[in-house]
Amino acid sequence: MPGGRRGPSRQQLSRSALPSLQTIVGGSCGNGTGMRNRNGSAIGLSAPPITALITPEPVRHCRIPDLPTDGCLVFELLFFIYLLMALLVQYINIYKTVWWFPYNHPAASTSLSFHLIDYHLAAFITIMLARRLVWTLVSEASQTSTTSIMWYTLLIVARLVLLTLCGWVLCWTLVNLFRNHSVLNLLFLGYPFGVYVPLCCFHQENRTQPLPAECGFLLNDQLETVMVRPKDFFTLLRESFREQFNNPTSIPAHTCPLSPDLIRNEVECLKADFNKRIKEVLFNSLFSAYYVAFLPLCFVKSTQYYDMRWSCEHLIMVWVNAFVMLMSQLLPPRYCDLLHKSAAHLGKWQKMEHGSYSNTPQHIWSETTIWPQGVLVRHNRCLYKAVGPYNVAVPSDVSHARFYFLFHKPLRILNLLILIEGSVVLYQLYSLLRSEKWNHILSLALILFCNYYVLFKLLRDRIVLGKAYAYPLGTIGLKSH
């Protein structure tokens, strides 16, 4: 009425009658900023905490079957045989002859120039490639439980004989190499160790933040390795060499922690273990490719002709195949499933643009809260949106976002390995169809024989795991925590 008191309009009634969106998703004024009106001032509404109104759905983990994997000793034996085969192929590529020429103009009487091969170098390379196999044999023999004193004594004697024989052959080859080659060529013998150890030591010295001590799911010896303490150079040197012989095949156990701090601590421990495994994969794959395909080229005489392009291509193939083989062994399906479970509990935050969602409730991020999906939080003056069903990650921590990106899909690493190995196999088949030289055909046939076995295991795991992870929620193949 004119001159009378105006009642609230329809729009104002609708705005005041509806509850705050912050109350719907759960949140308090102490933990967030509340709704904002058109003037920009916050409307103080009392609301219970987020965890009191909305509890995120429990994370459901898929039960994958126990896929057969090669034992440590079997894998090292197969890996050593593959490297020996690749070394033989490289020597064929370097020292091949044209032995099929007519007898009236014989170019060579054998298929290889055996008189040009340095057998001391070949023996040295073989010992360096067999270091992991020898150490695995010694480790397996040490862990065998013996009941009789005679059998125990026999194992001790066998270990001493094996280690003494390897050490004697290594010293004998080094002495002969020092006699017959220059100092510049000899520097190539230990170049991988000379590069790896300083980089590893400097990397450990630069890490000043210790890892959390609540990693109860790790073994005691692994926890001592994960913990970072100030160490001198010789201690780091000894540990760096020891890591080359230790194969971290033991897989930690997932405990489905309910506390956000425990989830983040588990992620930190898994990140350290994953980085250690990746470091071992990278070093050993490069180490194998270096001694198999590159070191023989460094000791070739200047008068010897060989196909440089084909030898370099063989070097790349050996590195890629060794990388895939080591990745499939050190990152088995059970370990990738463990990383996937931890990433499902961790969650992810998506950074939003400034000014977006200005009328949506925003909360202050708290490290003790499990945030549901779709919640907006502010952290370090930035706005983030919860992506996963569980979100306990630090919004500004890039390593948490990277961990979630890599492992929230359990088959991502396996698909990447299949893509790499499948591309190598297809390229080698294409090269085999176009090859005209006998050494090319022989080398491709031998390497493809090994690649088929690796690709078969990867495809088998992919098919089985794809069906296991494709089960809908609530079936017998899933487990809720």
pLDDT tens for the 481 residues of the chain, in order: 445 444 444 444 333 333 333 333 333 333 444 444 444 444 443 344 444 445 666 677 778 888 888 888 899 999 999 999 999 999 998 888 766 655 555 555 677 778 888 899 999 999 999 988 888 888 877 776 666 777 778 878 888 888 888 889 989 999 998 888 888 888 888 888 776 666 555 444 444 344 444 454 444 444 444 444 445 555 655 665 555 555 555 666 666 777 788 888 888 988 988 998 998 899 899 999 999 999 999 888 877 788 889 999 999 999 999 999 999 999 998 999 889 888 888 888 888 876 666 667 778 888 888 888 888 888 888 888 888 788 888 888 888 889 989 988 889 999 999 999 999 999 999 999 998 888 889 889 999 988 999 999 999 999 999 888 887 554 444 444 4
Give the burial class of 269: count Cβ atoms within 10 A of its Cβ; 0-12 exposed, 13-18 middle, 19 or more buried.
buried
d(CA 323, CA 441): 23
Contacts of 339 (CB under 8 A, 6+ apart): 270, 274, 403, 406, 407
What is the structure's pLDDT at 183? 82
Rg (CA), the chain: 31
How many C-beta neighbours within 10 Å does residue 326 have? 22
What is the structure's pLDDT at 321? 95
d(CA 241, CA 190): 13
d(CA 131, CA 138): 11
What angle is formed at CA 76 by the lines to CA 123 and CA 422, rounded to 5 degrees?
A: 105
What is the structure's pLDDT at 221? 43
Q: Hey, what are 13's tokens?
A: 């009634």
What is the structure's pLDDT at 349? 86
Output the pTM of the full model.
0.77
What is the structure's pLDDT at 325? 94
- Residues 272-295 as b/e (b if ≥16 CB within 10 A, e otherwise) read bbbebbeebbebbbbbbbbbbbbb
State CA 438 to chain mean position distance. Answer: 37
What is the structure's pLDDT at 243? 58
Domain ranges of the chain: 18-55+349-387, 62-344+401-480
* H-run or E-run covering 289: helix 260-289
What is the structure's pLDDT at 89? 92
SS3 (DSSP) at 352 = coil
Supply the DSSP string of 372-394, one letter for each residue: PTT-EEEETTEEEEE-SSSB-S-
Contacts of 454 (CB under 8 A, 6+ apart): 321, 324, 325, 328, 421
SS3 (DSSP) at 365 = coil
Q: What are phi and psi of 105, to 5 degrees?
A: -130, 70
How many C-beta neighbours within 10 Å does residue 108 have? 14
What is the structure's pLDDT at 428? 93
Provide the angle, in degrees to the nearest 10, between the axes of the packed helices 119-129 and 72-95.
160
* H-run or E-run covering 416: helix 412-434
Residue indicated by tokens 């992991």:
132
As a whole number of angstroms, the longest Cα–Cα distance in the chain is: 126
What is the structure's pLDDT at 313? 92
State CA 256 to chain mean position distance. Answer: 22
Q: Hey, what are 236's tokens?
A: 């780091």
